[in-house]
Structure 1
Amino acid sequence: MSIKENLEKIKKTIPEDVTLVAVSKTKPTEAILEAYHSGHRIFGENKIQEMAEKHAALPKDILWHMIGHVQRNKVKYMAPFVNLIHGVDSYKLLQEINKQAKKNNRAINCLLQIKIAAEDTKFGLNSTEALQILQHDTFKTLNNIQVVGVMGMATFTNNTTQVTQEFKTLKTVFNQLKQVHADLNIISMGMSGDYELAIQCGSNMIRVGSSIFGARN
Structure 2
Amino acid sequence: MPVNKENYLRIKEQLDRSGTTLVAVSKIKPVEDIQALYDLGQRDFGENYVQELVDKQSRLPQDIRWHFIGHLQSNKVKYIAAFVHLIHGVDSAGLLKEINKQGAKNNRVIDCLLQVHIAQEETKFGLNEKELDEIAGNTS
TM, length-normalised to structure 1: 0.57
How many residue pairs are counted as aligned between the two chains?
A: 137
Identity of paired residues, percent? 57
Q: Structure 2 vs 1, CA of residues 2 and 47 (structure 1 numbering), >3 Å: closer, same or farther?
A: closer
Query: How far is the alpha carbon of 1:116 from its aligned partner?
Result: 5.5
Deviations 1:115-150 (A, max 9, x none): 466766442235x34631432369xxxxxxxxxxxx
Greater relative CO (CA pairs within 8 A, separation 6+): 1
Equivalences for residues 4-153 of structure 1 within 5 A = 4-14=5-15, 15-115=17-117, 121-126=123-128, 128-129=129-130, 131-136=132-137
Q: Structure 2 vs 1, CA of residues 103 and 4 (structure 1 numbering), >3 Å: closer, same or farther?
A: same
Q: Structure 2 vs 1, CA of residues 2 and 66 (structure 1 numbering), >3 Å: closer, same or farther?
A: closer
Q: Structure 2 vs 1, CA of residues 137 and 96 (structure 1 numbering), >3 Å: closer, same or farther?
A: farther
**Can you give the 5+ residue segments of structure 2 that lack an aligned partner in the other structure?**
none
Contact 1:3 1:35 in 2 (8 A): no
TM, length-normalised to structure 2: 0.85
Q: Structure 2 vs 1, CA of residues 24 and 133 (structure 1 numbering), >3 Å: closer, same or farther?
A: farther
- CA distance in 1 between counterparts of 2:137 and 2:10 reads 43
Q: Secondary structure at the match of 1:64?
A: strand
- CA distance in 2 between counterparts of 1:26 and 1:119 reads 28
The aligned residue for residue 214 of structure 1 is none
Q: Which amino acid aligns with 2:10?
A: K
- CA distance in 1 between counterparts of 2:7 and 2:124 reads 28
- CA distance in 2 between counterparts of 1:130 and 1:18 reads 30
Contact 1:112 1:130 in 2 (8 A): no
Q: Secondary structure at the match of 1:59?
A: coil
